[in-house]
Amino acid sequence: MNTVSEYIKRAAKRTGFKREFFIEKNMPTEPSNVYALPFFGNIRSTFILSSLLLKNFKEANPEKYLILCCWPGMQQLFPYVDEYWTIDDESLIKCLATNANNLYNDSSTCTEITKSLSEVLNIITTKDLSQYYDKGFTKKYWDDFGDIKRFLPDVPSVNIIKDFNVQLENREGIKIIIYPATRMSSWQKGTTEQLPVQKEFWTALINQLIKNGYIPVIYQNWFTYDMSKEFEDRCLYLVPKNISELMSALREIGILIDIHTGISRLAIAARCPYLAATERQIYIGEKDYEIDDLCAENLPKQYIFSFSTQLMVGTPEEWEISILGNIITRLKEFETQIKKENLPSTSGSYDSVSYINVRKRKLKRLGSYFIRSSKNK
């Protein structure tokens, strides 16, 4: 066992990873049983991996000692893996974040990381996982795993981030979580692509929220713009050390706005209500309704269907007409419907869920609001 332990330590050092989590007593006796999964997909697919894929895969392959190589601070989404490795190099993380594309990562950095890991360990790739989930559950998922089992992590009290908790208590008013991502999801030629969005759009949205009496809480990480220079002390800033702190803050604040970014999937992990703008074709084509019905069936949520390309060009005045005014209207309606005492439990769970509850793929049942597309979509 000590020989395998030393081998894994050397493998992590050689490939540039830090062992963020591991349990020594779980070490296998044979190196051939050690497998690494390099995963640097986007926020949406990270939640899918955590909640619907990887734990099922792990249980179906108990002989495999599984090392997940993933984003820093996300370990609490994957407490069931044998080890969790992260990258320390900030420049590599930013490169990976820019190229995260659903389950995959299109960067040469990710290719090099995977190649380096394959030289010292057995590798499981995202292509292996896509056999089970590819724009929804595949036949192989049902054949290999049977019923769908859903994992949701434990959400600790906001007291674990004391300084931020004090900021919340000292600012009166309705707080709204914003995620100013540098890229947005867009349906292009039958698939979802991540396209760049102007920082000015987020500035316009935040100004609109402040104008209407809200206190924006801006969640910033490698996928987002830094908005602190533009707004300084007019907003609160959420820069958590790990996903547990993020989930605690999401649950405590209680409303998140997701504008074509997929951050609402982490709101589900935190059992936090959300108002999401997405493209209708993405919601149908990527089967996001499956995720809602299987993982957020009792969680308050609202959708606005619009085109993200409207936000990648234009002016604040045009955005006001196309979406910002609608966001404020819907937000004011939505906040009155949320009863914190009725929200789902924050206790971690791993339960079988019935697919019978998933809605049929019919347009008339998908959402309740539509925004007319721009002519150049």
Contact 30, 4 (CB under 8 A): yes
Q: Which tens digits make up the pLDDT trace of 188-224?
A: 988 999 999 999 999 999 999 999 999 999 999 999 9
Pair type for strands 349-353 and 148-152: antiparallel
Burial class (CB in 10 A: 0-12, 13-18, 19+), 91: exposed
Q: Which tens digits make up the pLDDT trace of 121-176?
A: 999 999 999 999 999 999 999 999 988 999 999 999 988 888 898 889 889 999 99
Q: Which tens digits make up the pLDDT trace of 63-90?
A: 999 999 999 999 999 999 999 999 988 8
Cα–Cα distance, 55 to 215 (Å, whole number):
37
Residue range(s) in the chain whose domain bears CATH number 3.40.50.2000 = 158-348+360-365
Q: State the maximum Cα–Cα separation within the chain, in Å, rounded to a whole number.
A: 65
Which pLDDT score is estimated for 359? 64
What average pLDDT does this structure show over 308-315? 91
Pair type for strands 65-69 and 34-38: parallel
pTM listed for this prediction: 0.92
Domain 158-348+360-365 top-level CATH class: alpha beta
Q: Please give the angle made by the CA atoms of 49, 51 and 55, to the nearest 5 degrees.
A: 75
Q: Which tens digits make up the pLDDT trace of 13-51?
A: 999 999 999 988 888 988 899 999 999 999 999 999 999
- pLDDT at 368 exceeding the cut of 80: no
Q: DSSP assignment, residue 322?
A: I
